[in-house]
Chains A and B, each alone.
Chain A
Amino acid sequence: MIERISNNQLYRLIMANVMELIREPGVLFWGIVFPILMSLGLGIAFTKKTDVITTIAVTGQNHLIGKPSDTLSVLLSFLRTNKAILIKNEQGLVSRKLTVTDDKLGNTHFIFTAMDWKAAMVLLKRGNLNIILDEKDGKIRYHFDPRNPDAQLTYLKLSKLLTNTGPVVKEANLEISPLTVTGTRYIDFLIPGLIAMGFMMSSMWGVSYAIIERRSKKLLRRMVATPMKRSNFLIALISVRVLMNFIEAGLLFLFAWLAFNITIQGNVAALLLLFIAGNIAFAGIAILISSHTAKTEIGNGLINAISMPMMVLSGIFFSYHNFPEWSIPVIRQLPLTMMADGIRSIMIEGAGFTETVYPVTILTLTGLIFFMLGMKIFRWH
């Protein structure tokens, strides 16, 4: 019996794929270590409150250290009152640093630097500062790009600060209550996206690239010159990949649970069903991509052409709601979007089978249609 199984071609094909996979160090890195590092990096960058350092250019005469005049003199006396520290940077520019402490939102360090308009523009273009102050009709004037949210934030903070004429009073921020509830943090948004992206990338490279490479090396041709069943070849390749995808997603989830206390709010069985549907979709797409070409460079290009736009559009790292209104219904139909949104709805919003029926059906159909198209034009030789 054991002898019969071990001589079975499907078993041998599966084992060959498993062996090849686990002997490839890149698989371990890109499939397991990389998503974990990414979630760690992005999760921390967006969850931890950090000190913000904002540089503000003050143009005109050397008002900060020279003879104070007009409105800008008010700024100087304000900085003095609040004991702004005098600092000198590498270029010899003199600045005054004013720190506003905040235990909820993190501290903000405003660094006021006197410079001429030209120098300010250079720094602005380099992204070193986003707001420039000067004086007009006895009032402080703010120059900044209104479409830059960072600049807007600086403006709001600064104008609030500067309308306060006396010393800056530290007061407990009673009206701010940070949201740290599981499910509302950036990391909660990110992890489902990373899982969906992992499924897609792993199918693209693991199935598409593997097929194209075997074709380019004439291994595919050699294999079909034996009584090997073609279906077994594909079943082995895809099933090993799907198994690997589940392991990768499981490890990423385990990590997110340990490091960020992420949990699944909704139905776990529905989540598994969605995973299967997503794998069908991406495997189908992978088969179509790899159906014809024998050139690995073309395969590379095709894989990137399909996966890159989806990674940008599908709201893996940032919500796709910033894209134009008309494009959102289209974006929603992309397999990666459907997968990421579906996982989010189960993990964060506590969705169950009812909410999952639609994405599961569409993903499965997408996979089957692409698979059949792919098989129609599949080149074994």
Chain B
Amino acid sequence: MNSPYVIEVRNVVKSFKTVQAVRGIDLNIGPGQFVAILGPNGAGKTTLVEMIEGIQQPDHGEIRVMGKPWKGNETYLRQHIGLSLQETHFVEKLTTWETLRLFASFFSIGKDRCEEVLQMVALEEKRKAWVVNLSGGQRQRLALGISMINMPKILLLDEPTTGLDPNARREIWAILRKLKDQSQTSMILTTHYMEEAEQLCEYIVIVDHGKILKQGTINDLLGEIQDIPVKPAEIRKITLDDLFISLTGRHLND
């Protein structure tokens, strides 16, 4: 029964009243792997990730996390995963430190780990600042810090850099790269930024309209581009963006 994967998604389907958000997705993620789920707005990324997080239930299909289904293992799984939602507003009038301490207490974790996390996300100077007074980037770093507070075996981040300026985005990338170097954590990250997927993740899953269009390592995916007619001079500039256009006929950020 021992599965080599930390996340297994089998033929998962999820519909809302009028939309089929996820229409049959299969996905396996191994330990320590960093995976990007890349797709435009409305592709079904959030729905997929929240089903893996046990926040939403699939209509059909099966999801196993660390070899266990959510049903009956919630307490165990919640202890070992870390996540950040696409948009969370923490309590405005709590400080950074108080917010960290609050979430740490849910895992019975004390202040030493909070100090560590505060350092990892470079918010020591903002320890006493109210959440409402943090910049967008600082709030995202706080959300990231909270997602890592329990040293999760699996980290799931839903659009952690959307809406941030390039500098703030790079700060988040730096934190995640460090995490990859220093721990065995597996990560799923959703994004609609090519660069983010290329920079952080060795495995990329391109989704649109609730389906996986292509998945593989960056080289696998760019290898496909041989089939796209391009002028030789442009060959170096070919990126995932071109791949996406060739797959769907439109730009990723449309």
Instruction: Tell whether B103 is near chain A: CB-to-CB under 8 Å.
Output: yes
Q: Mark B87-126, 1 if CB is under 8 A from A, else 0.
A: 1111101100010011111111111000000000000000
Instruction: Tell whether A218 is near chain B: CB-to-CB under 8 Å.
Output: yes
Q: Is the CB of A219 within 8 A of B88?
A: yes
Residue of B nearest to A16 (CB): B102
Q: Is the CB of A12 within 8 A of B101?
A: yes
Q: Contacts A16-B102, A222-B85; is A9 near B55 (CB within 8 Å)?
A: no
Interface residue tally for chain B (C-beta within 8 Å): 30
Contact partners of B111 in chain A: CB under 8 A: 6-7
B53 contact from A6, A13, A225, Cβ within 8 A = A225
Q: Is the CB of B106 within 8 A of A223?
A: yes
Q: Which of B75-83, B186-194, B208-216 contacts A (4 or more CB under 8 A)?
A: B75-83
A218 contact from B54, B87, B101, B107, Cβ within 8 A = B87
Interface centre among B79, B83, B88 (most CB of A within 10 A): B88
Cross-chain pair count, CB within 8 angstroms? 67
Q: Contacts A16-B102, A218-B85, A227-B79; is A9 near B108 (CB within 8 Å)?
A: yes
Contact partners of B88 in chain A: CB under 8 A: 217-219, 221-222
Q: Contacts A20-B91, A221-B85, A227-B78; is A7 near B106 (CB within 8 Å)?
A: no
Q: Is the CB of A226 within 8 A of B103?
A: yes
**Number of chain A interface residues as a range:** 20 to 34
Instruction: Tell whether A228 is near chain B: CB-to-CB under 8 Å.
Output: yes
Q: Nearest Cβ distance between residue B230 and chain A, in whole angstroms?
A: 43
Q: Is the CB of A23 within 8 A of B93?
A: yes
Contact partners of B53 in chain A: CB under 8 A: 225
- Measured between alpha carbons, how far is A16 from B103 in the docked complex, in Å? 11
14 A–B contacts, CB within 8 A, in A order = A6-B111, A7-B104, A7-B109, A9-B106, A9-B108, A13-B105, A16-B98, A23-B93, A225-B54, A226-B78, A226-B103, A226-B106, A226-B107, A381-B55
A interface, CB within 8 angstroms of B: 3, 6-9, 11-13, 15-16, 19-20, 23-24, 217-219, 221-223, 225-228, 381
B interface, CB within 8 angstroms of A: 53-56, 75, 78-79, 83, 85, 87-91, 93-94, 98, 101-111, 130, 150
